[in-house]
Structure 1
Amino acid sequence: MPLHMTKIAFGAKSWDDLASWFVDRERFLMTTRYLPKRHEEMLGGSLYWVLNHALVARSPILGFPQAKDGRWHIDLEPRLIRVHPIPKRAHQGWRYLKDEDAPRDLADGEEIGDVMPGRLAGKLQKLGLI
């Protein structure tokens, strides 16, 4: 079972903003200062994007090449795979996500509007209603 990571889609105000980051790209390299300590476990995993306090999509992780300036890249497939949104608090940087805690991909034909927004789901979950 691969390990995954979560990352805030900083600067994206909507799904369309996030999706625009992936248009017409052959590679998607995200730069980070440090190589994740558990990077070997993440090969075959995904980076899950947090937007509006919910995990909403994932991008498969291809590798962790080093940049010329000593930093590291997280090499992602240049595509977004929509997932069943689940609440996720904001955080800085990235966080690990175990496979059993990762949201499932949306099924073919299943619309993102068919599921509850992350903030609302988080509030209802705190109240013990879902």
Structure 2
Amino acid sequence: MALHIVKLCVGADSVEDLQAWIDFRMDQLAAAGLPREQAHTTRMVPTRKDEILDGGSLYWVIKGYIQVRQPLVDIRPFKDTDGITRCDLVLEPRLILTQMQPRRPFQGWRYLKPEEAPADMRGSSGGQDLPEEMRRDLAELGLL
């Protein structure tokens, strides 16, 4: 079973915000003639790389809830211009809605075991077509 990563999505207020940023970035790369590849840079390099790349995803916490995930394509450690080791988490530029799962704030990223990861939203069930705020309210009430 694949191991996952969970991380706070800083700067995005909604799944739609995150998707808009991804789309904008992909358009910028295409306009510059560069490969359309989304990478998120982080300071810590995962030591369990092989487990993560065996089908793992990055689960994003938005407004206190895991709401969406992105499949991980690659993990690329590098040194920045100051000689500090960093890591690019290369992601598929598509978002997959998940059932909402509350998460307290934390710094950096954490491993997320497969059995602890929220299930994907499938089809028209589960409120996938509901506005995000309503989904969050229903999740808080335990109805979604």
TM-score (norm 2): 0.76
Deviations 1:24-69 (A, max 9, x none): 5221111112211222210110000000110000000111113352
Identity of aligned residues (%): 40
Larger Rg: 2
Q: List aligned pairs for 1:104-115, cutoff 5 A.
A: 104-110=119-125, 111=128, 113=130
Counterpart pick for 1:74 among 73, 82, 89 = 89
- 1:4/1:45 contact within 8 Å kept: yes
TM-score (norm 1): 0.83
The offset of 1:21, in angstroms, is 2.1
The offset of 1:18, in angstroms, is 1.2
Query: Which range is displaced more, 59-68 or 73-82?
Result: 59-68
The offset of 1:116, in angstroms, is 4.4
* Structure 2 residue 69 is matched with structure 1 residue 58: yes
- Counterparts of 1:72 and 1:38 in 2: how far apart (Å)? 13
Structure 2 counterpart SS, 1:71: strand
Deviations 1:77-121 (A, max 9, x none): 111101111111111110111001111111122325387417962
How many residue pairs get aligned? The number is 125
- Unaligned 5+ segments in structure 2 are 27-35
Deviations 1:11-32 (A, max 9, x none): 1112221111221522111111
- Unaligned 5+ segments in structure 1 are none
- 2:69/2:97 contact within 8 Å kept: yes
Q: List aligned pairs for 1:9-88, cutoff 5 A.
A: 9-23=9-23, 25=26, 26-43=36-53, 44-67=55-78, 69=80, 70-88=85-103
Runs of 4+ in 1 over 6 A off after TM superposition: none
- Counterparts of 1:104 and 1:10 in 2: how far apart (Å)? 22
* Structure 2 residue 18 is matched with structure 1 residue 8: no
Task: Give the alignment's Cα RMSD to 1 decimal.
Answer: 2.5
